[in-house]
Structure 1
Amino acid sequence: MTLTSKLVVSLDSTLTSALDLAQGSVPLRLREVLALADGTGAGRADKIFSDRRTLAASGTESLDLAGGLTDAFGNVITFARIKALLIVAATGNTNNVVVGGAASNGFATPFGDATDKLVLRPGGLCLLTTGPADATAYAVTAATGDLLQVANSGSGTGVTYDIVLIGASA
């Protein structure tokens, strides 16, 4: 199997203001592309996981990045490095989706430590990538640093989120 990935982030924004005799505007156009060829070095990835998941009210799950996930063909995935992480909280959620904060064996490299968490409000998203020249990326350490914790921030209702992980096996 081979994997090629192209992640495109595009931002178009215009700030306008009415002036005395005219209207001023400042456009902002930003476009970034991360292209990853098949493989395990810099600018390369050979593993991908994607899923739409639902957590019960006050629920928590730990995604095992080193052997606990399967790809679209049912093959077990063992990430050694994460090159891109995308999480999108469903707009229909009432509660927030909380990412990070695993008490033990946490995938801490993008979060710092077990107390660091990212809160995604309903409809929010988070995209975390490494640069194309970065061969190290976010390291996954089997059995000691491989659990990505995702939680529902409250009771009463479940939350749904989409997740995509792109990385390398070495």
Structure 2
Amino acid sequence: MATLTGSINITLAIALANVMDIGQSNYPINFGVNFPFENGSGDGQASAAWTDERTIAASGSENLDMAGVLADAFGATFSVTKIKGLLVAANANNTNDVLVGGHASAAVASFFGDATDILRVKPGGAIALIAPKAAGYAVIPTTADLIKVANSAGGTPVTYKILIIGA
């Protein structure tokens, strides 16, 4: 069985500048958060990872099952009861948005206020949901274990990359 160690890092580095009557004013913004993970299921721990690059046909959708259908990089079954990190990045060449969430009957709804809610990932954009505490985002086999990913419109397919870590 594989063990998991690593971290999720999010870094923002922006410079605001304003030309004044004499000179220029600068305000550098540096912000970062780091979420280290060790192997396990408690605070700051995860034990499974699944990642893929996928394409969805125009107006299409797919359901990603968190409880025993997907296989990890080593061919082992990916099955978690809590998600500690979900990252989705839409290809910059997409015309349509990538929609995450909103499965009708068995949604992993703990990301949202309501099971029908969705996150819209614009072309070239990304989302990251990180829950490093022991509870994570709840996954309940059979009743709340599907993450729906959909193409927002017709005409063209969408491509996205996804990473899920959990325990």
TM-score for both structures, normalised by structure 1: 0.95
Residues 51-83 of structure 1, C-alpha deviations (whole Å, 9 max, x = no match): 000001100101000112110011111111100
The CA deviation at 1:126 is: 0.3
1:22 has 2:23 as partner: yes
Which residue of the partner structure matches residue 149 of structure 1? 148
Which residue of the partner structure matches residue 161 of structure 2? 162
Alignment of 1:72-87 (within 5 A): 72-87=73-88
Q: Which amino acid is the alignment partner of residue 130 of structure 1?
A: A
Which residue of the partner structure matches residue 110 of structure 1? 111
The CA deviation at 1:112 is: 2.2
Which residue of the partner structure matches residue 42 of structure 1? 43
| CA distance, structure 2, for counterparts of residue 148 and residue 74 of structure 1 | 20
Residues 127-152 of structure 1, C-alpha deviations (whole Å, 9 max, x = no match): 11014xx1101010000100000000
The CA deviation at 1:40 is: 1.0
| CA distance, structure 2, for counterparts of residue 96 and residue 7 of structure 1 | 24
Which residue of the partner structure matches residue 8 of structure 2? 7
Identical counterparts, % of pairs: 45
Which residue of the partner structure matches residue 64 of structure 2? 63
Q: Which amino acid is the alignment partner of residue 146 of structure 1?
A: D
RMSD: 0.8
Q: Which amino acid is the alignment partner of residue 10 of structure 1?
A: T
The CA deviation at 1:121 is: 1.0
Runs of 4+ with deviation above 4 angstroms: none
Gaps of 5+ in 1: none
Matched residue count: 166
The CA deviation at 1:8 is: 1.1
| CA distance, structure 1, for counterparts of residue 95 and residue 28 of structure 2 | 34
1:122 has 2:123 as partner: yes
| CA distance, structure 2, for counterparts of residue 111 and residue 92 of structure 1 | 28
Residue aligned with 2:143, SS: coil
